[in-house]
Amino acid sequence: MEKNKEKTMGLMKRFIPYAGLLLIVVVFALTTGGRFLTLKNLRIVTMQAMIPMIAAVGTTFVMAHNNLDFSLGGGCALCCVVAFRLTGGENLFLIFLLCMLTGLLCGTATSLIHIKGRIPAFMAGMCIMFIGRGVIDVAIMNNNGVMKLMGDVSFFANIRFYLVVLLAVVVVGYFLFNRTKIGKYQKLIGSNPVAAKLSGINVEKYKFLAFLVSGATLGIASLLTILRLGSLTATVGQGLETDVLISLCLGGMSMSGGSTSSIRAAVIGPLSYFLLVNGMTLWGIDPHIVYVVKAIVFLIMAFITVDRSKTKVVL
């Protein structure tokens, strides 16, 4: 009986994100006078969801082993600043390399602070967040005017290129997460780190690799951010970690990681989130209510997906 109940709950947790996405699409498709499912609107939503989606693919690795990465926003800012400063907004290929390198460095720094410094990962991530925000403020302050992308980047700054990048990231992410030790061991560590260690898994090494993957996807997300905005702004990357966290939750990712973690959360979650926001805008409802709805939806999904066997309540 208990086993059947658990099985049912497990199935529910797996399919609720799909059901949620379907519900969002159907409800808004029927109530927005045909505006929701136009190609133009779907294109816009896809462009908006793209960057958090790519960042979420990497973050899935970190969350799978039961950690939270708060470095995304600041890390994105850092990647953009480094790329712009060293290239002057020219040479997109160099910008991409610098974004990747900086992203990997951010991932490395976060993991080293967490693993070697024995500091909780979310705190380590916040350090990077503050550093990134500070650096970009200084960079913007010291620059006379707007730092823009030079040259014609229209070939890259469009949805086709973004979709190709997204597909590549998701496919590689899926492969790494489900077919290699890098991904499989994250789930094992997230389920039971002690058992994982006793099984001979080098927990620290794989945690480090998870942050490295997160850093790599952050680099790619930063490049797309630069392409989308066309320039460097003081608020670049702001709120990225929150968007990714909420999106992953909506996608069915358990906050405590473990064996139920899946890359699909990184795809379904951001889509659901941005479709929800888009749909509410099409409805024309009070913007303040949008925040309340987001909070409620997040709470509901977190309630459904959290693994209660691992959580403790301190009274």
Residues within window 37-66 making contact with other proteins, judged by CB under 8 A: 37-42, 44-45, 47-48
User: CA torsion sign, 119 to 125 to 127 to 128?
Assistant: positive
In the numeric block, the tokens 């160099």 are attached to: 94
Beta bridge partners of 231: 148
Q: In angstroms, what is the minimal distance from the CB of 283 to other proteins?
A: 9
Pick from 2, 3, 34, 198 the residue near other proteins by CB under 8 A: 34
Closest approach of Cβ 77 to other proteins, in Å?
11
Q: Is 287 in the site for other proteins (CB under 8 A)?
A: yes
Rounded least distance, CB 38 to other proteins, Å: 6
Query: Scanning residues 112 to 151, which ones bind other proteins (CB under 8 A)?
Result: 137, 140-141, 143-148
Does 163 engage in binding with other proteins (CB under 8 A)? no
Figure out which of the listed residues 12, 19, 22, 23 binds other proteins, where binding follows CB under 8 A. Answer: 22
Least Cβ distance, residue 287 to other proteins (angstroms): 4
What does DSSP assign to residue 143? S
CA distance 51 to 225: 7
Tokens of 285: 């409802």
- Residue closer to other proteins, measured from CB, 38 or 180: 38
b/e burial code for range 91-115 (CB count within 10 A of at least 16 → b): ebeebbbbbbbbbbbbbebbbebbb
Residues 228 and 130 sit within 8 Å (Cβ to Cβ): no
Q: Looking at 112, 172, 277, 306, which residue binds other proteins (CB under 8 A)?
A: 277
Instruction: Tell me which of 12, 23, 29, 168 binds other proteins, using CB under 8 A.
Output: 29
Q: State which residue, 182 or 277, has the beta carbon closest to other proteins.
A: 277
290, with CB counted inside 10 A (0-12, 13-18, 19+), is middle
Give 262's DSSP letter.
Answer: -
Closest approach, Cβ 314 to other proteins, in A, equals 27
Nearer to other proteins, 201 or 290 (CB): 290
Distance CA 249, CA 313 (A): 20
Residues 193 to 252 in contact with other proteins, rule: CB under 8 A: 225, 228-236, 238-239
Residue type for position 146? V
Between residues 176 and 275, which has the closer beta carbon with respect to other proteins? 275
Q: For other proteins, which is the closer residue by CB, 192 or 242?
A: 242
| Residues found in the chain | 315
Task: Say how far apart CA 14 and CA 89 lie, in whole Å.
Answer: 43
Q: Which is nearer to other proteins, 91 or 238 (CB)?
A: 238
In the complex, least distance from residue 132 CB atom to other proteins, rounded to whole angstroms:
13
CB of 232 to other proteins, least distance (A): 8
Q: Which of 1, 2, 3, 33 binds other proteins (CB under 8 A)?
A: 33
Element containing residue 281 per DSSP (H, E): helix 264-283
Q: Does 88 bind other proteins (CB under 8 A)?
A: no
Write phi, then psi, for 232 (nearest 5 degrees). Answer: -95, 130
Are the beta carbons of 202 and 298 closer than 8 angstroms? no
CA–CA gap between residue 116 and residue 27 (Å, rounded): 49
Q: Which residues are near other proteins by CB under 8 A?
A: 18, 22, 25, 29, 33-35, 37-42, 44-45, 47-48, 137, 140-141, 143-148, 225, 228-236, 238-239, 277-278, 281-282, 284, 286-288, 291
